Chain A
Amino acid sequence: MAKSIEVDNLDIYYGDFLAVENVNVHIKAKSVTAFIGPSGCGKSTVLRSLNRMHEVIPGARVSGNVRVDGQALYAPGVDPVAVRRQIGMVFQRPNPFPTMSIYENVLAGNRLNAKRMGKSEADDIVERSLRGANLWNEVKDRLGKPGMGLSGGQQQRLCIARAIAVEPEVLLMDEPCSALDPISTSAVEDLIHELKSEYTIVIVTHNMQQAARVSDDTGFFNLKAVGEPGQLVEFNPTTKVFSNPDNEATEAYVSGRFG
């Protein structure tokens, strides 16, 4: 069951520093939503506030409303741990667990939560997830080897495999392809297309073509000026953003005439 996400008047702070101001988006269930924008404008910050990872940073807080399938994410009774089990995340920097093998890394979400499963079920999950992340063929002969022994791009795909192994309902991906070659990138894009039929996906990317290829809706973030908080400048269907955007800054950014 995929979920939709609604964001209303969201302000996001690091301590006293207002990083992102007044975000309003409606992310549809079973769709791919892309966030684009220049570096430092708060894409990762917004993404992290969608599964309550933002508050992990000391002093970080949000004000405003986020509703997942109508349920307020920041209501007092909500357990962030339960939220994160349903809303998975792939980080900007690959972060496999150094003490675990490739196999254990993929299963980390299940094992760390002490979920019991048989050997064959575990093997199935590992193979399916690694195939999904286009890593299976490269590592199938050394599943027992440390995850840190992989190349940077392989580590990133391992992290994608780890995130989809727990079958979250929403998958947040922060520049999942920034360390990948074109072949793996296209594999990840294929995966996104596949996952879309069951999951809701939000992806941050610096690659315009990628946003155009994979997403249904696109949000363009920008800074008003240096030192000002970032804001969501435009949120529209991807085709509109790339052909006939409402905002001039968006037009400049997607056509590469920026700054």
Chain B
Amino acid sequence: MALQTQAPTSGSMSITAGQLPRTATPMVAVFAAAIGVVAGLLLGSGIAMMVFIAWLVFTLGLFVWSRTVEGSRKAKDRTINAVVWSAFVLAMIPLVSLVVTVVVKGGPVLSPGFLSRDMTGFAALGQGGGIYHAIMGTIMVTALAAIIAVPIGIFTAIYLVEYGAGKPLAKVITFLVDVMTGIPSIVAGLFAVSLFIAVSDEPLPRLGIGGGIALSLLMLPTVIRSVEEMLKLVPNDLREASYALGVPKWRTIVKVVLPTSVAGIVTGVTLAIARVAGETAPLLLICGTFPSANWNPFNGAVQTLPVYIYTSLSQTSHAKYGDIWTDRVWGAALVLIIIVMALNLIARIIGNVFAPKTGR
């Protein structure tokens, strides 16, 4: 049966509506800024007050104007938009100011010498010295932590998702992982110390592997959780497709599940590494301080950047050499931030490289 074409109903609906000019937002912004400055000057208040008044005027002004011209739906939309952007800017302020401060204070300190020298013989001098040993220590201890935590974490997550689903053991493990997430980092350090006191009979053991163990304890829950989430994202259809081809379960996990989720896994693991790279408290306890690079993780103290920053800070009040110690603190802080940011960047790049491609 053919469809009857329907005659257009009378009084057809309008699909046009009033619209603010495209420059409306900047116009209101300029207007609001002006009001904020004027009101601030009149009231004799500071910058913060001015910004707040300007923001209030901007949000209200845009809402009222939009409501009269465009109607209430668009007015709400614009207001929500403004609020979301403000929240974003508010959240960015501390981050940006932190980065700017560290770069401004630490940037001039960075020099090839600062990066390639250690503190042997420089500790009490008003010049020279560097953080080579601390950079290498941080890299070594973090790498040790990753070597311990990443395989254990990935295998645990594989068990939880692929084998343990719904089993009591899996529930117990999940609970313990949750508990582990809450371990204070200093307690992880204490654990490493007491472990090596028991093992080595030394009264106060200092060694790099202890730092690796303490950090791996802190990393483990993050790794397990993020890998678990990534494995859960792999659609069951893919596992079934593989089983239906007669592929055993372990090969399905290795060849289908892991490759499909590798981008997320690598990203999660890298972020977990970045998270512990700046950890201070446990390293202070178990790694201690040392003026030069110590490549032997099984013997002797290892200097790391966070601990270097912490111990240097106590020298900044030195009557004569306080300034150079202040420089050292900011320089080391900048390097630490660069390392952590580089890890984050690597995580993003890896995530993009490994992401399943859908293009032609």
Contact = CB atoms under 8 A, between A and B. Distances in A.
Given A98-B356, A109-B246, A56 B239 contact: yes
Given A89-B244, A97-B256, A112-B255, A149 B360 contact: yes
A140 interface: no
A83 B243 CA distance: 10
Nearest to B254: A112
Contacts of A112: 242, 245, 247, 251-252, 255-256
Interface string B235-273: 101111111111110011001100110000000000000
Contact of B246 (A58, A85, A91): A85
Contacts of A108: 241-242, 245
A98 to B, nearest CB: 4
A98 B238 contact: yes
Given A56-B239, A95-B240, A99-B260, A149 B246 contact: no
A89 B245 CA distance: 8
B353 to A, nearest CB: 13
Contact count band on A: 20 to 34
B246 A95 contact: no
A166 interface: yes
B357 interface: yes
A91 B240 contact: yes
Contacts, number: 89
Contacts of B4: none
A84 B248 CA distance: 10
A108 B358 CA distance: 18
B165 interface: yes
A204 B95 CA distance: 58
A235 B197 CA distance: 76
B253 to A, nearest CB: 11
B359 interface: yes
A113 B356 contact: no
Contacts of A148: 356-358
A176 B240 CA distance: 16
B244 A53 contact: yes
B166 interface: yes
A155 to B, nearest CB: 11
B237 A91 contact: yes
Nearest to A172: B244
Interface of B: 165-166, 235, 237-248, 251-252, 255-256, 259-260, 356-360
28 contacts: A53-B243, A56-B240, A58-B166, A81-B247, A81-B248, A82-B246, A84-B245, A85-B246, A89-B244, A91-B237, A91-B240, A91-B241, A97-B238, A97-B256, A97-B260, A108-B242, A108-B245, A109-B247, A111-B255, A112-B255, A113-B245, A146-B356, A146-B357, A146-B358, A148-B357, A148-B358, A163-B244, A166-B246
Given A97-B238, A98-B260, A162-B241, 12 more contacts: A56-B239, A56-B243, A81-B248, A84-B244, A84-B245, A91-B240, A95-B240, A98-B356, A112-B252, A146-B358, A148-B357, A163-B245
